[in-house]
Amino acid sequence: MKSSIRAAIVLAIVFSVSIYTGMSFRRGHVDEQLYPSAALTSTLKLSAYSPEIAGSRADTEIFEFESGTQGGTVLILGGTHCDEPASYIAAYLALENIEVLQGRALIIPRANRSALTHNLPGEAHPQKFDVPTEHGLRSFRMGSRYTNPLDQWPDPEVYVHYPSGQELSGADSRNLNRCYPGRKGGTFTEQIAHAIATFIEAEDVDLVIDLHEASLEYPVINAIVAHERAMDCAANAVLELQLEGLDFALEPSPPNYHGLSHRELGDHTSCFATLMESANVIQGRLRGRTTPELVLTGHDPMYMKAAQIEMTRVPYDSSGISLEVRVGRHLAGMQKLISSFSGLNPEKQIVISGLPSYGELLERKLGTYLLPK
Ligand SMILES: [Zn+2]
């Protein structure tokens, strides 16, 4: 009798835990609510340009902000790598605050939607983090660098990039930023890349800004990477950022490193392809305890030690590198790339407003600009 009661209790516990984890798993597959600014003119689906992804998690929303005044078109890509929170938070903030006075802005905040549905195994990353706003905490999901294996599995031993034939690690077959220009009928991730490249051509996108983060020991950091056609535009932007006290490096896109947006979108479409990197402690190999607070503060005692022995590629001190700093750098870089592009292409002006400056974001904090409406 005693053992039956014990068995019933164990069963009840197992059942409750299964229900709880099952619900939590399901919640991870529901898109977070976004609140586009009043300037939104339409919401499109990526599958409208590549029907083969319709109905799958490869499909994602495209937010269009059309000024009604003739000009150029900028595309902002967030959430290519979903363990890089400043990437998609900057895109969310832009789409929730932007006004477009001339030309058109297109924003894909969740470029790889599948990567937001899981975490990287073995990294102890938090599942979510909370940004304080005056209406309370707003929760955001933390995702992965890669497509969810539920959507693409198994990985090959060696990933052979299409069409270059370049060989990369097997896991990179699920890395959207190693799959451009993608291919029709290819893997799940290649199909996303192909759909984005098709969309860029179909909509005559002039300037692409792909938002990323990297660890502090990674050589390409606090940087704008540019395809050769976009180099003048990026160089002007970097000069202007430097004049405002924001240190950015200018990196040419390596011609023989394939699969990356700044290389393949530049080579296979007519756009100016650029990519930005900010410094994210949570991706670093040298970090200590990994908590949701670390996503927000970027303050890590182990990186303090690493900086003291010059093992970081960016300045690092007790102030950390907060999410405000990283999103602020992305927004500043984005605005300078757009104004620089417009200066060089007067017939394709793009004029945006509504986004905070770097200083304003640091002073007023993220939550001021991420208010649920
Ligand atoms: Zn990245």
Evaluated on CA atoms 261, 267, 268, 271, the torsion sign reads positive
26 occurs within a structural domain? no
99 occurs within a structural domain? yes
24 occurs within a structural domain? no
Q: How remote is the CA of residue 23 from the centroid of ligand 1, in Å?
A: 29
279 occurs within a structural domain? yes
373 occurs within a structural domain? no
Q: How remote is the CA of residue 276 from the centroid of ligand 1, in Å?
A: 9
249 occurs within a structural domain? yes
CATH number assigned to the domain comprising residue 94: 3.40.630
Q: How remote is the CA of residue 175 from the centroid of ligand 1, in Å?
A: 9
Question: If we measure between CA atoms, which residue out of 41, 91, 46 comes closest to residue 68?
Answer: 41
Instruction: Determine the straight-line distance between the first and last CA of the chain, rounded to whole angstroms.
Output: 57
Helix, strand, coil % in the chain, rounded to nearest 5: 40, 20, 40
Q: How remote is the CA of residue 84 from the centroid of ligand 1, in Å?
A: 6
User: How many domains is the chain partitioned into structurally?
Assistant: 1
5 occurs within a structural domain? no
CA atoms of 79 and 109, how far apart (whole Å): 6
Asked if ipTM goes beyond 0.90, one says yes
What is the SS3 assignment for 118? coil
Q: How remote is the CA of residue 324 from the centroid of ligand 1, in Å?
A: 18
In tens digits, the chain (373 residues) has pLDDT values of: 788 889 999 999 999 999 988 888 888 888 999 999 999 999 999 999 999 999 999 999 999 999 999 999 999 999 999 999 999 999 999 999 999 999 999 999 999 999 999 999 899 999 999 999 999 999 999 999 999 999 999 999 999 999 999 999 999 999 999 999 999 999 999 999 999 999 999 999 999 999 999 999 998 999 999 999 999 999 999 999 999 999 999 999 999 999 999 999 999 999 999 999 999 999 999 999 999 999 999 999 999 999 999 999 999 999 999 999 999 999 999 999 999 999 999 999 999 999 999 999 999 999 999 988 7
Q: How remote is the CA of residue 148 from the centroid of ligand 1, in Å?
A: 16
Residue with tokens 């939590």: 24
Q: How remote is the CA of residue 214 from the centroid of ligand 1, in Å?
A: 6
Q: How remote is the CA of residue 70 from the centroid of ligand 1, in Å?
A: 33
Q: How remote is the CA of residue 171 from the centroid of ligand 1, in Å?
A: 14
Show the domain range for 216.
39-368
Q: How remote is the CA of residue 354 from the centroid of ligand 1, in Å?
A: 26
Q: How remote is the CA of residue 9 from the centroid of ligand 1, in Å?
A: 46
108 occurs within a structural domain? yes
**304: Cβ contacts below 8 Å, ≥ 6 apart:** 316, 317, 318
